[in-house]
Structure 1
Amino acid sequence: MEWSLERVREILAGGMQCVRECQCCAFATAICVLLLFAWYCYRMGREHGSDPLRRRYGLDHSHMRGVRGALISSEGCGRKGRKSSVEEQNGFAYCQSSECFRCTASGEGLNQRLYHSLQDYAKRYTWSGMGRVHKGVRDQGRYLSSRPTIQRPEVFFLPDLPSAPFFSRDVQRHDVELLERSFPTLLAEFENIYHHPPARGGSSLPPGWKANSTPHGQWWTYYLVNQGTPLALNVRRCPRAWRVLGQLRTFIANNVFGNACFSVLTPGALITEHYGPTNVRLRCHLGLRVPASCELVVGGEPQCWSEGSCLLFDDSFLHRAFHEGSAEDGPRVVFMVDLWHPNVAAAERQALDYIFTPGR
């Protein structure tokens, strides 16, 4: 190859052209990257500003509307002194109380608080044993919106718990046997506070009693513990029942899913089908007065109460109750308590008590 001044000039010119072309490509690439970054920031900012938790928890628009709307009423929903507003929509009963945890602490605000509360709990204590709780909080929206219609808890679903409408008394044998041994005590306590039956419509209810709206008949409750909060005046009137609650090993005493009350259904009364707020509990009914033609239907399975015996059921399943007896039969009366589901571990109970503390 012969070198000459002209050849060197050609090589230098070609090199300069390549440099200019490379600079153009690099500049164009940088412009594209900047534009993509700006578009990404715009999209993220828009989504974050509109609904940050819908992405985190997988909540779709229809589910959010349903959660923000009226939540379903159950035996345990509502505070003392409240006049319930109940609608019948497609055969279901809906609670619209401004004082009910399930009706006011749901949706995006609840999801955010649960997530932050769980993080705070893990920092204070441990993440050990928190796998299911973390999974339930993280994917709550997907669980609540995708559950089959037969079981659909309204507030919180803990995954991987055995599910059934009714449970054997053996799963909480100690507490069931304690309640059944306390039958005479609890019946006497009930008769002491019910010696003046509430008037129809609840306009002149005796102290402590609460009237719940029903499409037929009447349903009254006398709470000792309502959504994790003891009612001091009612507790003072029922000291023996309060002592029984204190002896139970699995009573949910420290979070909003725990209730204890005397529940009365008059002849002709119907509690419309509804779901409970969570699957982490079992609802226990101790029969105190049980006339004929009274029935509890959970998940399509009917059961009858009996005096002195307990029924354990998962109220996150669709359920209803009715009393089809005559006026001469008198009311159906049960003592109702919420117990932990037997497969919720001790560490999980402690975490759930923390993140669902009343007033949190």
Structure 2
Amino acid sequence: MKIRGRKSSFIAIAWVLLLSVFLGACGQGATGGTGDQSGGEAENGLQGKRIALIMQLNIGTFSAQYIDGVRDQVEKFGGELQVFNAEEDLARMASHLDSAITQQFDGILIDHGTPEALDPGIRKALEANIPVVVFDAAIDIEGVTLVEQGDLLLAEQTLEKLVEDNGTDANIVKIWVAGFAPMERRQVAYEEFQEKYPDVTELAAFGSATSNTALDTQSQMEAILRQYPNKGDITAVWAAWDEFAKGASRAIQQAGRDEIKVYGIDLSDEDLQMIQDPNNPWVASAAVDPSDIGRIQARLLYKKLNGDSDTPDRHILKPVMVTRDDLPEEPVTMSNLQEHVEEWGQSDDVYEDWMKELEEQVKGE
């Protein structure tokens, strides 16, 4: 009888312990332990997340500042970022995506790429409950958030500025490359521009994305200048990427063709220096802060990690036009550009209260 009594006591204690654990777990769930589905409260478990950034290419200062923006936001949230650069090799990009899934990263960010290369891997990531946010790629998969720069408006702003400065009968050179979702969207705006201004003549069109894009563009632009050697032959150059604008501007400046103006897309510290130089042909560029792009993309991923049901399927960033006339004589950088261009600066897009609280938690540890 004595032995049986002890057994009963042990069983009773065990049931009490199990019940207390169960009730404790229910209590955590009631306070948002898996993330507030309306996007209001962050889960403490968001700290320490491993985030993969998979890039098709990492070229120039724009990419460097974009990476800095991603890293800055991820680390402020207490996470760790690893960058995978495919160096323009789509097969390698797909392989990097598979590696990130195999290594069980908590979230995946993608920069550029194509549906053909990425769709299978993205679907595999979603099946493994790894959230994905894509920047500047034409991915159409339910559950994946797309971030775009507002490419139609980027192109429209620069092309309209070109006409405003040079008239509706300008002779222009277009520098553009196919095969990239943002470029394809900018081409749509260019075609609309051609319909709107039929007297604008396209003298030449070229462009390629390589590991030395700016240098290759410079060489190609030098050939165009030899083809049109007289002042007045070429009115302006429209460059659909800042690496194109850099190369074209150097060729034009070295040739002494100061009558030709360059209109670009995207900005960096180096770009600003060129635009500020009164002897440089680059006079205007439309852009979104690349650091902001990275930060906003990371915030969208963390919304998914937090289980927020209001995470959008698509987020379009608003571009800003920056011209030489907007800038002072003293050097300007991306960090203080807002002092001279009011619309520029760190964006509060997708920057929710729980994210700020999470940053404070990380900062205090």
- Same-fold call, TM > 0.5? no
Q: Which has more helix, going by share of residues?
A: 2
Higher strand share: 1
TM-score, structure 2 normalization = 0.22
TM-score (norm 1): 0.22
